[in-house]
């Protein structure tokens, strides 16, 4: 159960979600008991390395899991409705309307054979509009909203005629076309040039504010998180290992993995010749997850208990809004300071 | 815009002319070539390909395919029966027509004559078995020769690249443009074929001649595959290393590149067997291949063509069924081999 | 687009040229010796020598080629050695016949192959998919001539017996007497069926694999994320991008069909390019062979070109160049 104590009900409440994939080599548990919640208008950033389960979580919310995947446990409650229990036809009604998603690579995510404007209009026609001409006009307007110049002309063009940044803007336009309540952005800027990234993020943020949508931002880039998120959930090995406000995570990290992530960020003052700080070891094999904490094999602060027992996601220091899945959460500040001393 | 965007069209064209020509190139080959070119092309480590003990792994993977394994067994059984036809069958395929023999004419299938007898009392099963011998011999011969020719062309084109590649591929393209059955017909009907009057070779009425002309039109797919493989493989580090160590071109080809292309070659050779068997049968049916009294599955059927709609129709059914079965099994085996040799197949 | 088409046309010209040389060499060198045929295969050296003189076979090959091509391109294709009839006339008539068979065959096969391919790709590894895969394998391994005879056996004769009618329902040979659309299709039914076996087998597999590839692409996921119904996702988004591959294969195969209907025409005794070549080759009518090969070769190259053009039309990235 999510431990947020707020007066309004969360828009999205992911409760102990587990997702499995059947593969040639066995069953892979990509998501292993993940819980978090999101309120209207809020931006939650889900951070983690590849393989941590963040994309799978997003796809599960949208109901877009591959044929070989299935929700093995837990629940996803969106606006009061349990999504996994929803019949496909109703789910389809939500997709593209109440729930919308933006994917990582805008070039491959747009159909190369259809005009950009038509693809946006298609989203409108499916849910909120029933006249082609009207939908086309709205599509052009949306393109204008996301900052594409000469929108009406460009709507008649094909994806390959757009630049990378423009394509992602078009994807955003398509996603917000039906004023979704929840917008999921899966690595929206990873495939883009660094210079374009900031622009696209800005478009994303203003689009979200326009519609007062909740946003679930999935990324591995802490820099993006710092600029856009209200709350952050850190994932590792298919679990949420720490969750809190932006300040909580950046200034008062209470999990060794979060600390490692923050520590590994190259800083302006660093010595250019010094080796990058990494977290030693490799991510866990999702086919054979260890019994205890998934980070234990790599964690410098691991104790015996960590290897045998799985630490639950619990409030650190009595602050319900800031939770960590570490038995030693309370001692970490002291431990890190000790380790830093020569 | 370069021709990059025409790739699928080129790819299709490169791999064969599709299913239209009844004598030969099938779209199975096309799809196989297309997928093989993609999946085989990006295996990085040389050790992934079968070499030495890896064959056992391939064998095990193959046996996991029930249909392919069953087909292999059927082929072996039929092949053995055909090879030992004189032992299996008490009859001759072309007996002297004694009154005894003639008395047995027009017998529908029975225990004494499982495939029945024809108008002259000849046992059909025997005739089918002897034809099968020819078919299998021709099939294997064509596959072998096609591989040799295809590998030579493909290896040279793929390894040396540049101008050699361009010229050789133009040459290959030309062969792909000609209508296969038509050309086969024209050449097969020539009773005394020769290379510009100098080098004479056997006509298509003989097994060796048939093998020659079928292989002459069957090497292109393999050439393309080998070329593709070589083009990608020669950029690999171990080739650089070999070159640095002073190895010469042919040596590199033989010892390093070729062993790693064995997989796709084997698959295509197998498919080629089936195509060749069909082609020979078709030519013989049309009267341009093996001639009576020598038997071929094709001429058995054409000889019995007039029995359509009569009680003797079994004279058409059994030879054809055998032909169909053989080619089907060969194709299944080829498919099984492809799955067994491609480490990236997911089922 | 025009630039693209022009470039493809320009690229085809050298191919046409080279192909004509290859064909000429092939037929002259590996085909039957016209002099020998003229002398009815007799060993009369005198006759042979004279024949070689008359037919210009003593000139060098390049000279022969040029002289032949000169005549050919001006429309003089000679007369049949056997019937004396103009080769051009024969080819024209038979080309029309074959075209009809090819047209209906491709229409039918294309439709069936598309449906089967799309179905198989949308439900991969299902029971239906396995069944179609099995059928495709059977189709590819099927000896056309045998299947043709079987259809005659069962769909002409047996069916007629079954219904006790005086006439067959599907004709095994063209009916010279009756005319009209119904008769037309009764004649075509079996040949088209036989033709479609090979075509559908190959094309449906091709469509299946190309469509499977497309259905795994990201834009399909986007389409689903928009809430589009499954049918729209498959038939509008998925099919559209896999069509270019199928159309290419179809165009190539159609080209090859003009030289490849030999068996079907033979089994069903239909007039056409196939029958023409077969009788020319069987009767040693060498005059027909070269023009025949050149015409068919040209058709194949033209259809190769059409394949490229069709691909260009379907892919907007190419269309805009």
Contact status of C71 with chain B (Cβ, < 8 Å): no
Q: Is the peptide bond before B160 cis (omega within 30 degrees of 0)?
A: no
Residue B297 and residue B135 in contact, taking contact as beta carbons nearer than 8 Å: yes
The span from the CA of B115 to the CA of A291, in Å, is 67
- Please report where in the chains the tokens 């038939």 appear, as a residue: C235
The span from the CA of C304 to the CA of B184, in Å, is 21
**How many CB atoms sit inside 10 A of residue C130's CB?**
12
Tens digits of residue pLDDT in B186-226: 888 887 777 776 788 888 888 999 999 999 999 999 999 88
Q: What is the arithmetic mean of pLDDT over A274-297?
A: 76
Residues 6+ apart with CB under 8 A from C200: C109, C112, C113, C116, C136, C139
Q: Which residue has the higher pLDDT, A215 or A307?
A: A215
C 302-321 residues with CB < 8 A to A? 314-317, 320
Closest-CA distance of chain A to residue C104, Å: 29
* DSSP helix/strand/coil, A194: helix
Tens digits of residue pLDDT in A222-235: 888 888 899 999 99
pLDDT of residue B33 exceeding 70, the answer is no
pLDDT at B25: 37
Closest-CA distance of chain C to residue A278, Å: 32
pLDDT at B42: 40
Residues 6+ apart with CB under 8 A from B118: B105, B106, B124, B303, B304, B312, B315
Contact status of C145 with chain B (Cβ, < 8 Å): yes
pLDDT of residue B38 exceeding 80, the answer is no
Residue C29 and residue B195 in contact, taking contact as beta carbons nearer than 8 Å: yes
Give the strand pairing for A231-236 and A239-245. Answer: antiparallel
Residues 6+ apart with CB under 8 A from B108: B116, B311, B314
- Please report where in the chains the tokens 């239909």 appear, as a residue: C270
pLDDT of residue C122 exceeding 60, the answer is yes
- Please report where in the chains the tokens 């907007």 appear, as a residue: C316
Confidence of residue B100 (pLDDT cuts 50, 70, 90): confident
CA B52 to chain centre: 26
pLDDT at B134: 92
pLDDT at A161: 92
Q: Which of A177-186, B268-277, C162-171 has the lowest mean pLDDT?
A: C162-171
pLDDT at B252: 67
pLDDT at C41: 66
pLDDT of residue A330 exceeding 70, the answer is yes
Q: What is the arithmetic mean of pLDDT over C261-275?
A: 92
Q: pTM for this structure?
A: 0.83
Helical packing angle, B207-216 and B180-188, nearest 10°? 150
User: For a pLDDT cut of 70, what percent of chain B falls above it?
Assistant: 80
* DSSP helix/strand/coil, A14: strand
User: Which residues does chain C have within 8 Å of residue A126's beta carbon, measured at their own beta carbons?
Assistant: 226-228
- Please report where in the chains the tokens 């439709």 appear, as a residue: C111
> What's the token pair of residue B53?
């003990």
pLDDT at A311: 84
Q: Containing H/E element for A36?
A: strand A26-38
Taking all residues of chain B, what is their mean pLDDT, rounded to a whole number? 79
A160 and C241 within 8 Å at the Cβ level: the answer is: no
Q: Which residue has the higher pLDDT, B347 or C58?
A: C58
- Which of C205, C255, C312 lies nearest to residue B28, judging by beta carbons? C205
Residues A323, A327, A333, A339: is their CA dihedral positive or negative? Answer: negative
**How many CB atoms sit inside 10 A of residue B129's CB?**
24
User: Which residues does chain C have within 8 Å of residue A93's beta carbon, measured at their own beta carbons?
Assistant: 227
pLDDT at C231: 92
DSSP C226-268: TT--HHHIIIIIIHHHHHHHHHHHHHHHHHHHHHH-HHHHHHT
pLDDT of residue A138 exceeding 90, the answer is yes
Q: Containing H/E element for A101?
A: strand A99-102
B 68-127 residues with CB < 8 A to C? none
- Which of B183, B323, B347 lies nearest to residue C26, judging by beta carbons? B183
Contact status of B174 with chain C (Cβ, < 8 Å): yes
Tens digits of residue pLDDT in B305-333: 988 888 888 899 999 999 999 999 999 99
- Which of C145, C172, C296 lies nearest to residue B282, judging by beta carbons? C145
**How many CB atoms sit inside 10 A of residue C10's CB?**
9
User: Which residues does chain A have within 8 Å of residue C217's beta carbon, measured at their own beta carbons?
Assistant: 108
pLDDT at B286: 93
Taking all residues of chain C, what is their mean pLDDT, rounded to a whole number? 87
* Nearest-by-CA chain A residue for C242: A113
User: For a pLDDT cut of 70, what percent of chain C falls above it?
Assistant: 99
* Nearest-by-CA chain B residue for C285: B186
pLDDT at C90: 87
Subunits with 3+ Cβ pairs within 8 Å of A are C
Confidence of residue B15 (pLDDT cuts 50, 70, 90): very low
Residue B147 and residue B271 in contact, taking contact as beta carbons nearer than 8 Å: no
User: Which residues does chain C have within 8 Å of residue A64's beta carbon, measured at their own beta carbons?
Assistant: 221, 224-225
User: Which residues does chain C have within 8 Å of residue B20's beta carbon, measured at their own beta carbons?
Assistant: 198-199, 253-254, 256-257, 260
User: Which residues does chain C have within 8 Å of residue B131's beta carbon, measured at their own beta carbons?
Assistant: none
The interface predicted TM-score of the complex, written ipTM, equals 0.88
Confidence of residue A6 (pLDDT cuts 50, 70, 90): very low
Q: What is the arithmetic mean of pLDDT over C54-77?
A: 82
pLDDT at A4: 45
C225 and A122 within 8 Å at the Cβ level: the answer is: no
* Nearest-by-CA chain C residue for A180: C226
User: For a pLDDT cut of 90, what percent of chain B falls above it?
Assistant: 31
DSSP C81-124: TTT--BHHHHHHHHHHHHHHHHHHHHHHHHHHHHHHHHHHHHST
Q: Which of A154-168, A248-262, A292-306, C302-316 has the lowest mean pLDDT?
A: A292-306
Tens digits of residue pLDDT in B127-138: 999 999 999 999
Residue A37 bridge partners (DSSP): A13
Taking all residues of chain A, what is their mean pLDDT, rounded to a whole number? 86
CA atoms within a 13 Å half-sphere pointing along the CA-CB vector of B55: 6
Residue B82 and residue B136 in contact, taking contact as beta carbons nearer than 8 Å: yes
Contact status of C289 with chain B (Cβ, < 8 Å): yes
Confidence of residue C211 (pLDDT cuts 50, 70, 90): very high
> Angle CA(C99)–CA(C101)–CA(C277) in degrees, nearest 5?
70
Number of B to C CB contacts under 8 A, please give it.
230
pLDDT at B253: 66
> What's the token pair of residue A283?
């991510």
């Amino acid at each position: 159960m999510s431990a947020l104590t707020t007066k309004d009900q969360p828009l999205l409440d992911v409760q102990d979600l587990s997702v499995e994939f059947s593969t040639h080599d066995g069953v892979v548990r990509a998501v292993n008991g993940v819980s978090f919640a999101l309120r209207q208008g809020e931006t939650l950033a889900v951070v983690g390395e590849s393989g941590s389960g963040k994309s799978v979580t997003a796809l599960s919310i949208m109901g877009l899991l591959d044929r070989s995947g299935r929700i093995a446990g837990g629940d996803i409650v969106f606006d009061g409705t349990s999504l996994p229990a929803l019949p496909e036809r109703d789910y389809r009604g939500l997709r593209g309307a109440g729930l919308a998603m933006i994917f990582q690579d805008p070039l491959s995510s747009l159909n190369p054979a259809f005009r950009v404007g038509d693809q946006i209009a298609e989203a409108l026609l499916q849910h909120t509009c029933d006249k082609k001409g009207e939908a086309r006009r709205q599509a052009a307007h949306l393109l204008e909203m996301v900052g594409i110049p000469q929108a009406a002309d460009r709507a008649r063009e094909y994806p390959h005629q757009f630049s990378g940044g423009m394509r992602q803007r078009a994807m955003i336009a398509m996603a917000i076309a039906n004023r979704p309540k929840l917008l999921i952005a899966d690595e929206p800027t990873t495939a883009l040039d660094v210079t374009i990234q900031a622009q696209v993020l800005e478009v994303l943020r203003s689009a979200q504010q326009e519609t007062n949508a909740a946003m679930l931002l999935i990324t591995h880039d802490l820099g993006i998180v710092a600029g856009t998120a209200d709350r952050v959930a850190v994932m590792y090995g298919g679990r949420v290992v720490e969750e809190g406000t932006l300040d909580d995570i950046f200034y008062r990290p209470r999990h060794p993995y979060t600390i490692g992530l923050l520590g590994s960020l190259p800083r302006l003052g660093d010595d250019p010749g010094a080796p990058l700080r990494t977290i030693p070891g490799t991510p866990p094999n999702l086919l054979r997850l260890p019994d205890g904490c998934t980070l234990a094999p790599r964690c410098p602060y691991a104790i015996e208990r960590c290897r045998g027992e799985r630490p639950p996601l619990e409030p650190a220091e009595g602050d319900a809004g800031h939770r960590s899945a570490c038995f030693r959460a309370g001692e970490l500040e002291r431990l890190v300071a000790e380790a830093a001393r020569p | 815009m370069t021709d990059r965007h025409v790739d699928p069209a080129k790819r299709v064209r490169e791999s064969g002319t599709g299913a239209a020509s009844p004598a030969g190139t099938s779209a199975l080959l096309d799809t196989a070539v297309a997928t093989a070119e993609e999946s085989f092309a990006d295996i990085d480590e040389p050790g992934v390909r079968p070499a030495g003990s890896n064959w056992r792994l391939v064998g095990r993977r193959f046996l996991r395919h029930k249909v392919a394994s069953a087909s292999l067994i059927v082929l072996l059984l039929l092949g053995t029966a055909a090879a030992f036809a004189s032992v299996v069958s008490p009859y001759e395929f072309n007996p002297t027509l004694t009154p005894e023999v003639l008395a047995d004419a027009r017998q529908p299938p029975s225990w004494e004559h499982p495939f029945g007898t024809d108008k002259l009392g000849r046992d059909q099963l025997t005739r089918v078995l002897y034809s099968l011998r020819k078919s299998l011999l021709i099939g294997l011969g064509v596959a072998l020769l096609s591989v040799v020719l295809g590998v030579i062309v493909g290896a040279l084109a793929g390894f040396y690249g540049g101008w050699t590649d361009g010229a050789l591929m133009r040459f290959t393209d030309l062969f792909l443009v000609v209508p296969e059955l038509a050309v086969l017909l024209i050449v097969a009907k020539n009773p005394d074929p020769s290379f510009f009057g100098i080098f004479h070779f056997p006509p298509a009425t003989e097994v060796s001649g048939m093998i020659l002309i079928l292989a002459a039109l069957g090497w292109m797919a393999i050439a393309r595959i080998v070329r593709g493989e070589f083009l990608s493989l020669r950029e690999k580090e171990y080739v650089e290393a070999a070159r640095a160590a002073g190895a010469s071109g042919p040596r590199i080809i033989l010892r390093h590149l070729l062993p790693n292309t064995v997989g796709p070659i084997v698959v295509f050779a197998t498919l080629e067997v089936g195509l060749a068997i069909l082609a020979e049968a078709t030519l013989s049916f049309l009267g341009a291949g093996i001639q009576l009294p020598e038997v071929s599955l094709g001429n058995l059927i054409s000889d019995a063509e007039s029995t359509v709609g009569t009680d003797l129709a079994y004279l058409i059914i059994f030879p054809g069924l055998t032909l169909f079965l053989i080619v089907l099994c060969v194709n299944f085996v080829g498919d099984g081999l492809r799955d067994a040799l491609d480490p990236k197949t997911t089922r | 687009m025009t630039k693209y088409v022009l470039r493809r046309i320009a690229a085809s010209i050298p191919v046409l040229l080279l192909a004509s040389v290859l064909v000429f060499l092939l037929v002259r060198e590996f085909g039957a010796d016209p002099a020998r045929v003229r002398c009815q295969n007799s060993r009369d050296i005198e006759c042979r020598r004279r024949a070689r003189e008359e037919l210009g076979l003593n000139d060098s090959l390049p000279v022969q080629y040029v002289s032949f091509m000169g005549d050919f391109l001006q429309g003089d294709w000679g007369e049949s050695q056997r019937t004396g009839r103009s080769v051009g006339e024969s080819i024209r008539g038979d080309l029309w016949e074959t075209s009809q068979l090819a047209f209906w065959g491709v229409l039918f096969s294309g439709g069936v192959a598309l449906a089967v391919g799309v179905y198989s790709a949308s439900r991969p590894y299902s029971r239906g998919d396995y069944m179609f895969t099995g059928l495709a394998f059977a189709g590819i391994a099927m000896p056309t001539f045998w299947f043709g005879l079987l259809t005659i056996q069962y769909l002409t004769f047996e069916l007629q017996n079954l219904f006790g009618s005086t006439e067959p329902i599907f004709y095994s040979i063209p009916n010279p007497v009756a005319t009209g659309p119904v008769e037309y299709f009764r004649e075509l039914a079996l040949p088209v069926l036989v033709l479609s076996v090979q075509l559908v087998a190959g094309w449906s597999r091709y469509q299946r694999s190309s469509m499977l590839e497309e259905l795994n692409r990201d834009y399909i996921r986007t389409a689903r994320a928009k809430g589009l119904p499954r049918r729209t996702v498959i038939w509008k988004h998925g099919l559209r991008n896999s069509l270019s591959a199928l159309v290419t294969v179809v165009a190539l195969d159609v080209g090859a069909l003009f030289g490849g209907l030999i068996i079907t025409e033979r089994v069903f005794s239909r007039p056409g390019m196939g029958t023409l070549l077969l009788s020319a080759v069987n009767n040693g009518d060498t005059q027909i062979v070269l023009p025949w090969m050149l015409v068919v070769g040209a058709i194949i190259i033209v259809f190769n070109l059409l394949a490229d053009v069709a691909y260009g039309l379907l892919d907007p990235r190419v269309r805009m160049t």
